[in-house]
Structure 1
């Protein structure tokens, strides 16, 4: 059983896979069409519960805690593999469950995991849904629609750009809201669009606080850099795993891979975490004057995260794939949780179309 209470109708299990022991939430009929749900950073499987319960009766929901999060066994994330530690963990889980093909949905960092899965093993995927995903080129350190590095060492991405106060308070399991960087304040300010408050705020905060903290976990290690803002990615932990330094040829492999599962891309109209002017991006913070010494738009502009995603998906479609972009009005970084009455019908239609 997991450490966070779950909603009625869901099953909490520990499952031993060849790579790692995973905590997994499950719902729906055991012979249903599988839907693998991949949570984001500073969260856990708890963030999927309402989505799981809303699935049509022909689907089986499977929401694991990723390596580094929740009640899954504590093992390091080798960031030099990009998101592949997570992809391999998830495929190992589905193998143990005897599920060769499945739908996959990823939120935020989970969307970055989905990009990697589509590049490495698209033959396993019936359809993909990405909700406010990180750019396919990685989070931070790039400019332009084609994901050009701002610096040769990818300065401005990785573990060094995480707010250390946020990580410190996470490590202390701090549940208050006195500080701007307190986990509860960050969740209610950025995970959704204020003044929205989720009715299961305490359980979701517990999910946020479940992430493993440390120099080789979150926020991760980093290297000093001669390039602004002075830090480059290290080799361990989630923040480094989504750095463009370790994406490699993942985008090109996704664009040339066969088959090409249909992709649904959903984003919130007012997302401040993944946007073309993200408040979690060094280029944006430099331009705003919040990080000193900004070298200007020519060298390190705000990363056009949404523009990069659309650029890649349009190339995906031009290469024989299919994608649909949906923007959910008046929502932030978690539109599936803020407006499930809008998200669920779109998501269910995508699953049914790809299952038929």
Structure 2
């Protein structure tokens, strides 16, 4: 099936959209995660059965969408408002939203702000409803009022440097290619279109207004706090929190698909400074507990009500690693919604 690629002007920014299938089918809008683009959904778009209109958007600062700045103090709303503006521009109603990783937080924020536009939600290894880093416990209690442990300062500077340089090699353990191999997928998994997915990662706009954002230091361990600009700060628990998702009306059904070997979104995430402190990788930890990301998502969805969970033998990217099993679960959810 051929994929169409076009830029769509909206009331906010011009967004790049990949599409496939019937223009009159039920709209299924796929939202990618951090350091990626709509290209990560190519295989899923072309494999959906008839009766659906599959679409995948490049978020701001990724792919071919406008590299507009991100106001981190709004949490993920710059992204979710863009998604809702795209839905309006395309004249879509009753949309099935599918969000992976950071994109899971984006679709949950869109659901929280306009539930009437959403027919169903599918979360794929989503970020916790309490952001990334700086919290503990199932209800996302802050480790410190300033949100220390989260934000752009938590990014690996060598990875950011290689990303900005467009590095395609496997010469460094933190090159985009090796980060893909070691954390986006379960180590040892061979992905045929790896080169194309690395190119997608390299489409990320690097800087204080996009990824990772403005880094802020802190006197409190682990020495970083959220800034006010850019993506990783938008994920900070001081700005992105969905404590009241369970009160929305209507409540479309939510499917949660996750890889059991995920090391990015995990109760023991290798990207969580608190967990790295417990391992001794980040020195000086006062015993700050790791963020239980999966536990937090499960608690929030139980409060929400209408949800189901599917666990696959893979890492952070079920749609890439286990495409047939992923699509089977997704299509079953779409049919029942």
Distance in 2 separating the partners of 1:13 and 1:102: 19
Q: Say whether the 8 Å CA contact 1:119–1:251 is kept in structure 2.
A: no
Tell me, what secondary structure is at the counterpart of 1:346?
Answer: helix
Q: Deviations over 1:255-301 (max 9, x none)?
A: 101001100001101000011000000111000000011010xxx21
- Please state if 1:117 is matched with 2:133: no
- 1:70 corresponds to: 63
Q: 1:339 aligns with which of 308, 322, 331?
A: 322
- Match runs of 1:75-94 below 5 Å: 75-94=68-87
Q: Deviations over 1:106-131 (max 9, x none)?
A: 00000011221121111111000000
Give how far 1:222 is off. Answer: 2.6
Distance in 1 separating the partners of 2:296 and 2:46: 33
Q: Say whether the 8 Å CA contact 2:102–2:126 is kept in structure 1.
A: yes
Q: 1:251 aligns with which of 233, 243, 251?
A: 243
- 1:139 corresponds to: 132
Alignment length (residue pairs): 337
- Please state if 1:282 is matched with 2:273: yes
Q: 2:178 aligns with which of 180, 185, 196?
A: 185
Give how far 1:224 is off. Answer: 2.0
- 1:225 corresponds to: 218
- 1:351 corresponds to: 334
Give how far 1:101 is off. Answer: 2.1
- Match runs of 1:164-203 below 5 Å: 164-203=157-196
- Please state if 1:269 is matched with 2:260: yes
- State TM-score, norm by structure 2: 0.98
Flag structure 2 segments of 5+ consecutive residues without an equivalent: none
Distance in 2 separating the partners of 1:146 and 1:97: 36
- 1:312 corresponds to: 300
Q: 1:51 aligns with which of 41, 44, 47?
A: 44
Q: Say whether the 8 Å CA contact 1:159–1:222 is kept in structure 2.
A: yes
Q: Say whether the 8 Å CA contact 1:51–1:344 is kept in structure 2.
A: yes
- State TM-score, norm by structure 1: 0.93
What do you get for the CA RMSD once the two structures are aligned?
0.9
Give how far 1:251 is off. Answer: 2.4
Extract structure 1 runs of 4+ deviating beyond 2 A. Answer: none
Q: Say whether the 8 Å CA contact 1:119–1:257 is kept in structure 2.
A: yes
Distance in 2 separating the partners of 1:308 and 1:46: 29
Distance in 2 separating the partners of 1:158 and 1:96: 32
Q: Say whether the 8 Å CA contact 1:42–1:211 is kept in structure 2.
A: yes
